[in-house]
Amino acid sequence: MLVLRQTLLIAAKDTKVFLKDPFGVAFALLFPLMFILGFSLALRNIAPEDEQLAITVATREQEGLSHRIINLLTEDELLGAVVMPYDAAVRAVEEEEIGGFVAFPADFTSGLTEGRPTKLEVVARAGDPELEAALMGFARSVASSSSNTRIALAAIAQIAGPAALPRDAASFGRGGSLLSFETEQVGPVEAFNAANFTVPGYLTMYVFFAAAMGARAIMRERVNYTLERLMSNGARRESVVAGKYLGALYLGAIQLAVLWGAGLLAFGIHLGVSPAAVIVVSALMVLTSAAFGVMLASLVHTEASASSAAVLASLLLAPIGGCWWPLFITPEWMQSLAKLTPHGWANTAFNKLMLFGAEGGDVLVEMAALAAFGLAFLVVALVRFRLSPGGP
Amino acid sequence: MTEEFLVAKDLRKRFGDVPAVDGVSFTIRRQEIFGLLGPNGAGKTTIIRMLSTTLEPDAGGIEIGGRSVAEDSVGVRALIGVCPQELALYPELSARDNLVFFGRMAGLGSRQAKEAAAENLELVGLLDRAKDAVRKFSGGMKRRVNLAAALMSRPHLLFLDEPTVGIDPQSRNHIFETILRLRSEGMSVLYTTHYMEEADRLCSRIGVIDHGRLISLGTPAELKSAIGPPDEVTLEQVFLNLTGRNLRD
């Protein structure tokens, strides 16, 4: 009871001290907002007018099933497929008029009806992975439907004999059963909102930064003997450690409220399909960052070294941990390196939830990793924390 | 009720290979102002930290108000107040907020702490500046708040570690008057200083410490009479005679 009372008093006092320090408030709340604003503006042109991908199709057959498939595809307005002669399509890719196309081979119909392997051809310009992925997906869908057709033809031939097959195999499936597909209008194509990345990124960076700078404040208290005065006043060591930790949690909670609030109201961010999971990850991040700050204070010996360690650690861990750029665009080795930092786990979870439509269950590993980091930091802090220079 | 409120027996403390305190014994009586004098690095602050329960001695025993520091540090803390030589305050907070916080940490309720803060600010002459942030105060005013903070737990024994460093004569005089008033109200005081005239004026007994050892103990008159007629000898002469004239770190 005494420890709890002292813990709450110390945390409340630290919060009061924080709120009376204009630079501290600006550093913890305004700086990240400025960074978010700046980088959101700088990144807004990444895909300002995102357009629907145009699927271009071509065939090397004079006649046959491929023509029928192409007709079906081009008739659908939502799909918006464009048909071009094969040679013209190749030239268009070379001259960078189009990104790529899907082509039916010359033996498509015969291969399909005679059971020989036949391959759809995907031609894509280098450096356009999104279109290449879309064309590959489209080709796989067509191939899958065509395979089903071939299986149906083989089954008919086996059961009823080859005579049962239509004389002109190319006419098989007339009426739309050869290739069936559905298109669905899901809404207008939305432009990429850079704030969906920058808000969690800079939130993570500054929550950890502010907590790390809290180590400096703890060191100042140790050097000017206020911590020792607390002890001679009756405060217990565990109360001081817990009070400092709780004070850092209060600060982190204020940062979360302000920065997520600004993100939602001013930057129009989207918390994804599981906002509750975003809140849980945020809470774990604050718990871990607060422990990081107290641990840092327990490891350094002077106020200057606390400042240096806080700045160095924050500026090193933020880019490694994907606060400045999305981890998923970085090379694999950088993504592996990010796993050594709590920032990396937090940002991976935020990106999954806010950019890729993940749900809470999809980020359990990230949550567990953050909790493990926090626990480890807290254990070090509890073991190493000293109330006075050279004292207990 | 014993005559002696604090009993320190054969205190020892080493930092690495350096003996900071080497077999120091002394007592402080009720309502006594006991002076502890010594050059820089002599071991005064280390002794205060051991007496105030924030540093564990390597050897020796301490009893305060009949309670052993080693066995009942929590009980001892309820009896003492510490005014460190550093300004152990929160500069961003007001004088009153500082005192209320330290009072509440010492176990006072919210109302009690506010009342005690007002009383102590009045005692040190700063009640009219109660709401001002400590960072706006002069050095002397900060020293007085530092003293007031040590009084928030309503201690029986007050440790004052160089409480008048770097302040003007008016603030110094105010602190003297406050200490004398506290003694008259029943408080015992352990007082360290480099200003010999302060010790001469305030202290009923003085211990001189050097290289971690207590090299002399007695009333100011007794210490002076060791080298000459007390009326003609100053405490500073006694001090230099005992500790030498070599410069210290």
pLDDT digits (tens, 9 = 90+) for A180-208: 555 555 555 555 678 888 899 999 999 99
Q: What is the pLDDT of residue B85?
A: 87
Question: What's the CATH number of domain A56-171, 3.40.1710, 1.10.10, 1.20.1630, 3.10.20?
Answer: 3.40.1710
The residues that bridge with B81 in the sheet, in sequence order, are: B158
Whether A259 and A282 have beta carbons less than 8 Å apart is answered as no
Is the Cα torsion angle A338, A342, A347, A348 positive or negative in sign? positive
Q: Kindly report each contact of residues A73-82 with a partner whose C-beta sits within 8 Å and lies 24 or more positions away, as own/partner.
A: A76/A181, A76/A183, A78/A183, A78/A184, A78/A185, A79/A55, A79/A181, A79/A183, A80/A52, A80/A54, A80/A55, A81/A54, A81/A55, A81/A56, A81/A57, A82/A54, A82/A55, A82/A56, A82/A57
Higher-confidence residue: A340 or A73?
A340
Q: Assess contact for A195 and A268: CB atoms under 8 A.
A: yes
Would you say the C-alpha torsion A262, A265, A269, A274 has a positive or negative sign? Answer: positive
Q: Which of A51-65, A187-201, A237-251, B171-185 has the lowest mean pLDDT?
A: A187-201
For residue A230, pLDDT over 60 is answered with yes
Q: Which of A79-83, A270-274, B161-165, B242-246 has the lowest mean pLDDT?
A: B242-246
Q: Above 50 in pLDDT, residue A174?
A: no
Q: Which residues of B touch A22 (CB under 8 A)?
A: none
The confidence band for B64, taking pLDDT boundaries of 50, 70 and 90, is very high
Q: Which residues does chain A have within 8 Å of residue B53's beta carbon, measured at their own beta carbons?
A: 231-232
Q: Which of B9, B43, B35 is nearest to B223 (CA)?
A: B35
Which tokens sit at B83?
A: 């005014």
Tell me the CATH class for B1-79+190-249: alpha beta
Bridge partners of A122, per DSSP, are A102
Residue A183 contacts B where some CB pair is shorter than 8 Å: no
Q: Nearest Cβ partner of A233 from B15, B55, B102?
A: B102
Q: Are B6 and B207 in contact (CB under 8 A)?
A: no
How far does the CA of residue A268 sit from the closest CA of chain B (Å)?
A: 37
Indicate whether A2 pLDDT > 60: yes
- The reported pLDDT for the residue numbered A168 is 54
A290, A378 Cβ separation under 8 angstroms: no
Q: What is the mean pLDDT of residues A38-43?
A: 76
Residue A71 pLDDT grade (very low, low, confident, very high; cuts 50, 70, 90): confident
Who among B77, B84, B93 is closest to A20 (CB)?
A: B93
Helix (H, G, I), strand (E, B) or coil at A191: coil
Q: Which one of B80, B90, B105 has the shortest CB-CB distance to A17?
A: B90
Reported as a single tens digit per residue, the pLDDT across A353-376 is 988 878 888 899 999 999 999 999
- Give chain B positions within 8 Å (CB) of A226: 88-90
**A14-43 average pLDDT score:** 83
Q: Which amino acid is at A152?
A: A
Q: How far apart are CA B103 and CA B100, in angstroms?
A: 5
Structure tokens belonging to residue A84: 């071009």
Asked whether the beta carbons of residue B53 and residue A232 sit closer than 8 angstroms, the reply is yes
**In chain A, ranges of CATH 3.40.1710 domains:** 56-171
